[in-house]
């Protein structure tokens, strides 16, 4: 794993690589718990205005990954 991968993303990837299938998170779990949005907001969006926009638009309410958004 490259050293510059954000910690939460690294942990998610490693959990998806778990040897036992029951130890791997399902995609439904990842989406329902808004894990991707958390990673994007906290670790990937470096621009302050971009992070603020993402939090205001998606944080804690409707995920851009949900079916409610037509995904």
Look at residue 29 and tell me if it is in a domain: yes
Condensed to tens digits (0 to 9), the pLDDT of residues 5-60 reads 888 899 999 999 999 999 999 999 998 888 887 787 777 788 889 888 877 887 65
- As for how many domains the chain has, the answer is 1
pTM over 0.85: no
Look at residue 60 and tell me if it is in a domain: yes
The maximal CA–CA distance of the chain, rounded, in angstroms, is 40
Domain that holds residue 49: 20-65
Helix (H) or strand (E) holding 64: none
Q: Give the model's pLDDT for residue 48.
A: 87
Look at residue 57 and tell me if it is in a domain: yes
Of 58, 30, 31, 48, nearest in space to 11 by CA: 30
Look at residue 70 and tell me if it is in a domain: no
- Check residue 10 and give left, alpha or beta (phi > 0: left; psi -120 to 50: alpha): alpha
Look at residue 2 and tell me if it is in a domain: no
Look at residue 15 and tell me if it is in a domain: no
């Amino acid at each position: 794993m490259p050293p510059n991968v954000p910690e939460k993303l690294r942990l998610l990837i490693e959990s998806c690589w778990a040897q036992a299938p029951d130890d791997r998170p399902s995609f439904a779990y990842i989406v329902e718990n808004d894990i991707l949005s958390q990673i994007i907001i906290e670790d990937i969006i470096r621009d302050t205005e971009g992070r603020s926009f993402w939090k205001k638009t998606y944080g804690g309410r409707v995920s851009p990954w949900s079916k409610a958004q037509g995904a």
